Structure 1
Amino acid sequence: MAGTYRWVPACLSQRSIPPGALRVGTDVDGDEIYAGRAPHEGDILPAKVIPNKNACYVCWGGEEIVKDQFEVLVPAMFSWQFSTGGEVPPGAVAAGVTADGEKLYFGRVTHDGCTTPGKIQPSHGTCYYPFDGEERSSAEYEVLVLM
């Protein structure tokens, strides 16, 4: 099943978003947001990639952090399933891992009318997402699931 999607290295300084990258949302300006992941402080974190803003963001330690080096998710078949409280359904896409080995899953929330991606951390019972310079959280979210 691992061959049904792949993480493709990308770099904003080279403005290279791979063809077929998974679009997961839209920001407040109407710009497309893509699923990504990036390393930070020993973690590999789910990220939001916004090519029109030449930006990739992760959330960590209460902050929204810009990353230049990252990977973009190029899918086969995925769907979104509603969940709450840190729960993830079977087939959920593990998009990262904490330094101490906890899997992080790719989620998304609707905030101020914008659909924005984030990280589901089961042990915290929430989906964290970077928004407007801060790390926000929601106990209700959608989970990216492999079909």
Structure 2
Amino acid sequence: LMFGITFSNNITAHRQKSRVMTGYTWVASSHGRAAPPRAVQAGQDADGSLIYAGRAFFHGDTLPCKIVPQRREAYVSHNGREHNVSNYEYLVEQHMQWVSSSGSYIPPGAVPAGHTSSGETLYLGRVRHGNSITVGKVHPSHGCLYIPFGGNEVNYNSYEILVMR
């Protein structure tokens, strides 16, 4: 239990099970499923596809992820690479907004979206990358946002982070 939020170690994709958290919900999903109502739209890819905020379990970590339902894809960034994941959870919003941040600064009300296997909390961030606005993980101890893009993990020192309003 971190910040009043329970993270699942096993995300079940075929049940539409929701877990109500502090002011928001995570909804389990998998490739081919449409975004649930009120899913957090985090950006738009260069081809116009909408990108949604989510999280996925990957190699012992629960990682923020980008979900692109139009292309039946979801990705996490891990260890320098972009990885496709087939099971993930959509973040369903209540009252949230994107605010500017940089480095390791985590503003009050930032939405925890995952954690490393060693217990470090990770947050949802986004940035303009080329002709897209892409979501990824804010990794406080690294002082940056990592986005999964083009097969790689790309880092940014200035970004927007998702916070509760």
Instruction: With the length of structure 1 as denominator, give the TM-score of the two structures.
Output: 0.96
Question: Partners in 2 of 1:16 and 1:130 — Cα distance?
Answer: 21
1:32 to 50, 62, 81: 50
Tell me the residue number matched to 2:138. Answer: 120
Question: Partners in 2 of 1:25 and 1:16 — Cα distance?
Answer: 16
Tell me the residue number matched to 1:107. Answer: 125
| 1:97 is aligned to 2:115 | yes
1:50 to 53, 68, 77: 68
Q: Is the 8 A contact 1:64 1:130 kept in 2?
A: yes
Structure 1: runs of 5 or more not aligned: none
| 1:69 is aligned to 2:58 | no
Between Structure 1 and Structure 2, the one with more strand by share is 1
How far the C-alpha of 1:3 sits from its partner, in A, is 4.0
Give the root-mean-square deviation of aligned CA atoms. 1.2
How far the C-alpha of 1:21 sits from its partner, in A, is 0.8
Structure 2: runs of 5 or more not aligned: 5-20
Q: State, as a whole percentage, how many aligned pairs show the same letter.
A: 45
Between Structure 1 and Structure 2, the one with more helix by share is 1
Instruction: With the length of structure 2 as denominator, give the TM-score of the two structures.
Output: 0.85
Secondary structure at the counterpart of residue 141 of structure 2: helix
2:154 to 131, 136, 139: 136
Moved over 2 A (4+): none
2:28 to 1, 4, 9: 9
Listed one character per residue, the Cα deviations across residues 29-53 of structure 1 (whole Å, up to 9, x for unaligned) are: 0100000100001000000000111
Q: Is the 8 A contact 1:130 1:136 kept in 2?
A: yes
Task: Point out which structure has higher relative CO (alpha carbons under 8 A, 6+ apart).
Answer: 1
Q: Is the 8 A contact 1:108 1:143 kept in 2?
A: yes
